[in-house]
Amino acid sequence: MSTGATSIIGWEHSVFGKLEHPDTASLMGSVVPGALKHAAVAPEEVDGIFVGVYNNGFSTQDFQAGLVSMAVPALAEVPATRLENACATGSAALYAALDFVESGRGKVALVVGAEKMTGVTSTRAGEILLSGCYGPEEAAVESGFAGVFAGIAAAYADRYGDPSETLARIAAKNHHNGVTNPYAQMRKDLGFDFCNTVSEKNPMVAPPLRRTDCSLISDGAAALVVAAPDVARSAPRRVGFRARAQANDFMALSKRDPLEFAGVRRAWSAAIEQAGITTLELDLLETHDCFTIAELLQYEALGLADRGQGHRVLDEGLVSPEGKLPVNRSGGLKSKGHPIGATGVSMHAIAAMQLAGEAGGMQLEAVELAGVFNMGGSAVANYASILEAW
């Protein structure tokens, strides 16, 4: 499927972290007007709204699509739909919006992703997040979703050797990158030694994963405006989709090799083939580092290294900000934060900022092609996008 006809023409991004916004309606209201203004689009020009919120217990208020007009009354009569696909919820909303525009059902779509996660205790947040795994087999794991990925990391150690030092290098890289991201929850360069050492400030969460190996509990929102070609031609900016693909895998880890990330590989390979490029022809990649072991396995699934050899991309400096393919120049989920429903929208917004030359202190030089990979669960729902500057 060709997806080059539709463009991102505007965006807005909140700071991520423990925010004063009381709920997702407030968070949506903090980004939607700015996104429309950035795109030079009036509310009455919006043909459809696509909302990404995971919720599942973070709030007793649901029916999230209906909350957009409560935050922005001018959008009250616009059809609105809510999408949910675990940690890939934001990308699910974006892809639905792109399908809506490309089908000809509308010319302008608004995408908004949000999550209010800090309104519950950390224990309750962990329980809610664990609902994104296969409950009959995985819900009893200790330490929530961190425990699920700790099991994956332990399996990696058994097969290929202890990855702890490599995981610390990934964490240190992403925290270093996050310093220049004004939206990031943690703008502090922690350094490799801190990330590689178990301490009072960096305790073991679920062996072998330390706190620095785990993404943050976050509040936040991001919004995008996507438009058909005739609208986009007169927009202040255009960031196009050269390719996009989604691939799923079994939800239960017992049904697959948890180290293969086969769904990741299928989605990425489809997008790269559709785009007619190789991964190393990209100028940057924003990828889903919910845990550092996820980024390591993605290096291998995306073809940057052979299986069990993901450490080599760090050894060679390939994924550093100065490398051939900077990975998570935004700081990734590790530093930026991970408000579930907002994450996929945020990742695409960050890539669009880079392509439009609007990334501020994060800006890389000569960015023409950007990759985004966002996944739901333990590589169950996988979304791969190739964006280009138009």
Q: Which residues are catalytic?
A: 87, 338
Closest CA to 242 of 88, 390, 358: 390
CA dihedral angle for residue 36, residue 42, residue 47, residue 51, rounded to 10 degrees: 30
CA dihedral angle for residue 106, residue 109, residue 115, residue 116, rounded to 10 degrees: -100
Which stretch of DSSP H or E encloses residue 69?
Answer: helix 67-71
Q: Which residue in the block uniquely carries the two structure tokens 């620095």?
A: 212
- Integer Rg of the chain from CA: 19
Length of the chain measured in residues: 390
Closest CA to 13 of 382, 376, 371, 354: 354
Pairing mode, if any, of strands 284-286 and 369-376? parallel
Quick one: CA dihedral 53, 17, 370, 45, positive or negative? Answer: positive
**Tokens linked to 222:** 């991001």
Q: What is the DSSP string of 200-244?
A: SSS-EEETTEEGGGBPPP-EEEEEEEEE-HHHHTTSS--EEEEEE
